């Protein structure tokens, strides 16, 4: 799958207008194969509209897009390789979770033998025989994800799967998304909670009012938006010495007390951290700690989109 020459999803000027309102505005973006991509934007940014176009549920006003290398004008060519949860799934409250999945497997032409596997993938192995109506919201969401996995898809598209969940439910959802991705699937997951996607996504697409604000690796976004590495020295004198040496070596530093903040300058925090640690050690400076410091993703995005939305 990693040899696939095309991205899992590619949009080229994709546009959807409703009367005078443009919900998705000349959106050009892509999702590389194998990533967990976070599709982030405030409510009304156009996430659901864009995802619905990718699934052939609504027709674009202009522009093109491809999913798994096939144009969205022919969804029949790729939908069997895609699992999606966009509108809340229609489950029967009186049926068990497993029975609901049997119904969907029959409708979708999927092998019912996969049901125990997909229940286990979302942590519902022990609850498959409970009625759906008795499930908590988190369990309902997880059953929805299990349903997307019935066809063993290459690409999974999830619209706001953490909506309405409490922090524990959100953490569970993150674990499930990571586990699904670890099996080699590409994931596109939307959220209006940036901190949420940042923890699970390695690729970030940010939209606002239907237009692209950022796309790229999550780590690069963090580095670009003012992230720094903070080294804690034994005392002020050691910190001052480290700051001088790092400055001479070409780094941009800022010292406060026994802390030295080093700009990432486009590097990722782990590699700069290792470098600073070695640099200090080689010069006889013992570091008491090293941490990454950065504005919250929310603040970074607000800066990017000028506080709009
Ligand atoms: N069928 C429709 N008719 C008219 N306007 C619509 C329709 N569907 C969506 N819109 C408008 O398009 C814009 C984008 O909506 P969309 O649901 O795609 O945003 P979103 O980012 O998914 O937000 P949310 O998280 O609130 O669902 C909104 O202004 C919405 O009111």
Give the domain CATH number at 233: 3.30.70.270
> Is 186 near ligand 1, meaning CB less than 6 Å away?
no
Closest to 161 (Cα-Cα) out of 208, 193, 206, 126: 193
Contacts of 195 (CB under 8 A, 6+ apart): 296, 297, 298
Residues 68 and 119 in one domain: yes
Residues 217 and 237 in one domain: no
Residues 142 and 277 in one domain: no
ipTM above 0.90, yes or no: yes
pTM to 2 decimal places: 0.80
Residues 35 and 163 in one domain: yes
> Is 192 near ligand 1, meaning CB less than 6 Å away?
yes
Residue 288 parent element (H or E): strand 287-293
Other CB atoms within 10 Å distance of the CB of residue 30:
18
Residues 217 and 258 in one domain: no
Query: Which one of 206, 222, 238 terminates a domain?
Result: 222
Distance (Å) from CA 204 to ligand 1 centroid: 20
Residues 245 and 115 in one domain: no
Contact 155, 81 (CB under 8 A): yes
Q: Is residue 306 part of a domain?
A: no
pLDDT digits (tens, 9 = 90+) for 84-124: 999 777 899 999 999 999 999 999 999 999 999 999 999 99
pLDDT band at 309 (very low <50, low <70, confident <90, very high): very low
Residues 157 and 265 in one domain: no
Distance (Å) from CA 168 to ligand 1 centroid: 28
Residue whose CA lies nearest to ligand 1 atom number 25: 43
pLDDT at residue 127 above 80? yes
Distance (Å) from CA 187 to ligand 1 centroid: 22
Give the domain CATH number at 151: 3.40.50.300
- What is the DSSP annotation of 113-144? GGHHHHHHHTT-TTTTTSBGGG--HHHHHHHH
pLDDT given at position 223: 64
Q: Which of 19, 24, 45, 301 to mutate to test the pocket of ligand 1 (most atoms within 8 A of CB)?
A: 45
Query: Which one of 222, 244, 278 terminates a domain?
Result: 222
Q: 272 lies in which domain range?
A: 227-293
Atom of ligand 1 lying closest to residue 19 CA: 4
Residues 244 and 150 in one domain: no
- Check the CA dihedral 123-129-132-137 and report its sign: negative
Total domains in the fold of the chain = 2
Per DSSP, the three-state class of 60 is coil
Query: What is the DSSP-derived secondary structure letter of residue 89?
Result: P
Mean pLDDT along residues 198-210: 91
């Amino acid at each position: 799958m990693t040899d696939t020459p095309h991205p899992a999803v590619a949009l080229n000027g994709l546009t959807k207008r409703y009367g005078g309102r443009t919900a998705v505005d000349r959106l050009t973006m892509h999702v590389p194969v194998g990533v967990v991509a976070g599709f982030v934007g405030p409510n009304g940014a156009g996430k659901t509209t864009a995802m619905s176009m990718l699934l052939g549920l609504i027709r674009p006003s202009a522009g093109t897009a491809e999913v798994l290398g096939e144009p969205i004008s022919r969804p029949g060519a790729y939908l069997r390789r895609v699992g999606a949860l966009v509108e809340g799934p229609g489950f029967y409250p009186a049926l068990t979770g497993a029975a609901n999945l049997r119904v969907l497997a029959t409708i979708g032409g999927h092998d019912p033998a996969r049901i125990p596997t997909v229940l286990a993938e979302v942590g519902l192995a022990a609850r498959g025989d409970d009625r759906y109506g008795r499930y908590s919201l988190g369990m309902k969401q997880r059953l929805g994800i299990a349903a997307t996995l019935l066809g063993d898809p290459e690409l999974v598209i999830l619209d706001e799967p953490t909506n309405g969940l409490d922090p524990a439910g959100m953490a569970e959802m993150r674990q499930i998304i990571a586990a699904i991705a670890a099996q080699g699937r590409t994931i596109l997951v939307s959220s209006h909670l940036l901190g949420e996607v940042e923890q699970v996504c390695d690729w970030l697409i940010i939209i606002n009012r239907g237009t692209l604000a950022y796309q790229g690796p999550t780590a690069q976004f963090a580095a670009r938006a003012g992230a720094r590495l903070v080294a804690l020295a034994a005392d002020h004198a050691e910190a001052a010495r480290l700051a001088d040496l790092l400055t001479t070596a070409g780094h941009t530093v800022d010292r406060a007390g026994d802390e030295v903040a080093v700009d990432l300058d486009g590097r990722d925090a782990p590699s700069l951290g290792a470098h600073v640690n070695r640099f200090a050690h080689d010069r006889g400076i013992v570091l008491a700690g090293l941490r990454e410091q950065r504005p919250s993703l929310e603040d970074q995005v607000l800066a990017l989109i000028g506080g709009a939305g």
